Amino acid sequence: MHAPKKPKGKELITAEKQENRRISGIRIKVEHAIGGMKKCRIVKERFRCHKFGFEDMVILIACGLHNFRITHKMSHIT
């Protein structure tokens, strides 16, 4: 996906503005998911274990934990 840039000294047409809004809506969801996944510190640090498939397993576990947090939010507790 490529968001159209505003030409120097001009404005984007309405269709281009709508496309940029659509792309930014997707981007914010992805950024929030990555941020939620990075709550697991192991994802942010450099891996020292060089076993085959270890990084993939860590990322999958972090994604699973993030999804669990989202689906089991306790919003009624402040």
Q: Which of 64, 25, 28, 27 is nearest to 43 (CA)?
A: 64
> Helices 14-37 and 54-71, interaxial angle, to 10°?
100
Enclosing H/E stretch for 70: helix 54-71
Q: Kindly report whether the global pTM for this prediction surpasses the value 0.75.
A: no
Residue pLDDT, tens place only, 21-75:
899 999 999 999 888 888 888 888 887 888 898 888 999 999 999 989 888 877 6
How far apart CA 8 and CA 58 sit, in angstroms, is 45
Q: Which two tokens stand for residue 1?
A: 């996906």
How far apart CA 61 and CA 54 sit, in angstroms, is 11
Find all residues with CB under 8 Å of 42, minimum gap 6, and list them: 58, 62
